[in-house]
Amino acid sequence: MIALDKLTDVFVAVADTLVADFDIIEFLELVAEKAATISAASAAGIVLGDPTGRLQFVAASEQSVRLLEALAVQSESGPCQDCFHTGGPVVNTDLRDTEAHRRWPAFARLATSLGYQSVHALPLRHQGTAIGALTLLSVHAHPLEDADVRVVQAVADIATIGILQERSIRASGVLTEQLQYALVSRISIEQAKGILSRIHGIGVDDAFSLLRSYARGAGLGLSAVASEVVNEPDRHPTLTRPPR
């Protein structure tokens, strides 16, 4: 059973990001991290549907999850895909079982090779329709009780609220616009991570931590800084110049 104090910590941390300078990718990265923490999972990732109805990766707590979600997106097979297309949760699945390898052969092979044993996926829902999915992965058998599933679903619903909160959803096209903005921002962040990784000779996870710490310290949005690292690197010389 998920402890109440952990749940409180999640809501406090998430509420702190819902401010005037709200950055959708930074928010979703935080939700992924907190979802993994609150559920005692090893890692978590978030995917969103694009305007064509195809899933795209947007946030993860670990680099390994980025690889898995990218594979699920490319192969159109994985727990996040099932969750997104059915609108219902995929819970308590053992990735070592024959059934998992039958349903998602490439995903299950890669996941187990990375050390993961179990997976859950919860939908991000808007007005009864799935707009994405939250995936939890664990390196050990990690069943969720029904009450835990409801709590993690609440965290997934918070992610949806965050996507929608930047503007009041009054026009039918606003949700699509917000989802598209999140996907474009994710591309800029991945590009910036690669640039900083090369400049500083560090891994991509460390590059992301550097990018996020710099943005927070400067009081700037994560997506905005990432875009400028890619397109206007001279605006942030302390970040984009090689160390001496």
Has residue 24 got a pLDDT over 90? Answer: no
- Domain-located, residue 179: no
Instruction: Note the pTM of the prediction, 2 decimals.
Output: 0.71
The whole-number pLDDT of residue 233 equals 85
Of the two residues 219 and 43, the one the predictor is more confident about is 43
- The label of the residue with tokens 């918070």 reads 158
Number of domains observed in the structure of the chain: 2
Residues 72, 152 share a domain: yes
Tell me, rounded to whole angstroms, the distance of Cα 89 from its chain centroid.
17
- Domain span at 41: 4-166
Task: Provide CB contacts within 8 A for 211, sequence distance 6+.
Answer: 189, 192, 193, 196, 222, 225, 226, 229, 239
Is the separation of the CB atoms in 116 and 94 below 8 Å?
no
From 111, 133, 166, give the residue that closes a domain: 166
Of the two residues 125 and 21, the one the predictor is more confident about is 125
164-88-46-186 Cα dihedral, nearest 10 degrees = -60
From 134, 166, 198, give the residue that closes a domain: 166
The whole-number pLDDT of residue 240 equals 84
Q: How far apart are the C-alpha atoms of 217 and 181, rounded to whole Å? A: 24
Q: State which amino acid sits at residue 84.
A: F
- Domain-located, residue 171: no
We report the CATH number of the domain holding residue 195 as 1.10.10
Q: How far apart are the C-alpha atoms of 100 and 104, rounded to whole Å? A: 6
Has residue 144 got a pLDDT over 70? Answer: yes
The whole-number pLDDT of residue 178 equals 64
Residues 158, 116 share a domain: yes
- Domain-located, residue 207: yes
Has residue 174 got a pLDDT over 60? Answer: no
